[in-house]
Amino acid sequence: MPLHVGIIMDGNGRWAKKRGLPRTAGHSQGAKVFKKTVEWCRELGIKYATFYAFSTENWKRPKEEVDAIMSLLNKYLDDIRKMSQKNTRIIFLGDKSAFSDDVAARLTEIEEVSAANDGLYVLVALNYGGRDEILTAAKKIAQEYKSGKISIDEIDETAFEDYLYTKGIPPVDLIIRPSGEQRTSNFLVWQAAYAELVFMDVLWPDFSKKDLTAACEEFMSRNRRFGGV
């Protein structure tokens, strides 16, 4: 089984369009499937599950849609917080400063309340971009170099990873992208260097436990060599 699975929750808009519904109805259904998928990951014994909920580029969408996603997120933060009762550790990947002070404080509070949990790790990428994450890390390291806290020789891959949002989290083994698109869209750019990619035709709001299982089975049939033979 993959230790760490990343999921790009794509196809909400098309799901809604097919039904003559507003795009926001697709996001609403998508959020319900997010919650169910967390439980399926737990049942399948996946240890780390990362969900791409909102990218640094998603702000370009119409204001009504961004507002609808933010209010959905706000609504689901209660549910996400409750996951901590099941020994779930919750971590948000991304720049929290773009959110209002109260949302940013809630995100931090949820991370803190779940910090001692060590069952399933749920990572939610919010205002996340892989390039932004790498740049932010590079800037922090430059600052530390400037202040004499780190030397050039100390900057290796392991040290660099400590500056990423995923500090302490193993690299992603399997990335699942539903909706038929075949790209990774700035998701876990550093962490996915050796990830297996599984693209599926199902739209995210229709994603089922069967699809998650099928993606894991596809992963298990792959021969991972990590550059070796």
Based on the shown chain and the rule CB under 6 A, indicate whether residue 124 belongs to the binding site for ligand FPP: yes
Instruction: Find the shortest distance in angstroms from Cβ 75 to ligand FPP.
Output: 8
**Which H or E run includes 36?**
helix 23-44
Q: State how far the Cα of 198 lies from the Cα of 183, in Å rounded to an integer.
A: 10
Based on the shown chain and the rule CB under 6 A, indicate whether residue 34 belongs to the binding site for ligand FPP: yes
Based on the shown chain and the rule CB under 6 A, indicate whether residue 76 belongs to the binding site for ligand FPP: yes
| Neighbouring C-beta atoms of residue 195, cutoff 10 Å | 21
**Which H or E run includes 176?**
strand 174-177
Based on the shown chain and the rule CB under 6 A, indicate whether residue 160 belongs to the binding site for ligand FPP: no
Concatenated DSSP letters for 110-159?
Answer: HHHHTTT--S-EEEEEEEE-HHHHHHHHHHHHHHHHHTTSS-GGG-SHHH
Based on the shown chain and the rule CB under 6 A, indicate whether residue 88 belongs to the binding site for ligand FPP: no
Report the residue from 2, 5, 7, 27 that binds ligand FPP according to the rule CB under 6 A: 27
Q: Which of 19, 16, 32, 22 is nearest to 207 (CA)?
A: 32
Stretch that binds ligand FPP, among 69-77, 86-94, 190-198, 213-221 (CB under 6 A): 69-77
Based on the shown chain and the rule CB under 6 A, indicate whether residue 123 belongs to the binding site for ligand FPP: no
Based on the shown chain and the rule CB under 6 A, indicate whether residue 175 belongs to the binding site for ligand FPP: no
Q: Which CB atom, from 141 or from 172, has the smaller least distance to ligand FPP?
A: 172
List the catalytic residues. 10, 58
